[in-house]
Amino acid sequence: MPKVTYIEHDGRRFEVDLPEGWSLMQGALLNGVTGIEGECGGSCGCATCHLYVDEAFVDRLPEIAEAEDEMLDCTVAQREANSRLGCQIKMTPDLDGLVVRLPEEQS
């Protein structure tokens, strides 16, 4: 099963086994990662699952869809080139070992 490491703003790390097809938001919420809120339940409607993808994995992700791009303009924390919404990234074998950093606040 692929693994993802969530690093909260304070440095706490959560290494999670995430089934293929699950979103990074789902993995965070179901494993007690407090830096993700996911207020909209994963419908790309709130930007409270904003995260920063490790540069080594950015090119492995699907392109940002227009809806995600628009929501990323609404994040509380600063948008960076590696900003994504966790609800829009589904785990695949190619993402095994993925590391994401979480902003200080989501809302």
Average pLDDT, whole number, for the chain?
Answer: 97
Tell me the β-bridge partners of 16: 4
pLDDT, tens digit, 9 for 90 and up, residues 11-58: 999 999 999 999 999 999 999 999 999 999 999 999 999 999 999 999
pLDDT for position 93: 97
pLDDT, tens digit, 9 for 90 and up, residues 51-79: 999 999 999 999 999 999 999 999 999 99
| Tokens, residue 98 | 């993925």
CATH number of the domain at 3-101, out of 3.40.1260.20, 3.10.20.30, 3.50.50.60, 2.40.50.140? 3.10.20.30
- Give ∠ CA 68-41-89 in degrees, rounded to 5: 45
pLDDT for position 88: 98
pLDDT for position 85: 98
Name the strand (E) or helix (H) holding 7.
strand 3-7
The dihedral over CA atoms of 78, 39, 100, 94, expressed in degrees to the nearest 10, equals -130
- Are the CB atoms for 32 and 21 separated by under 8 Å? no
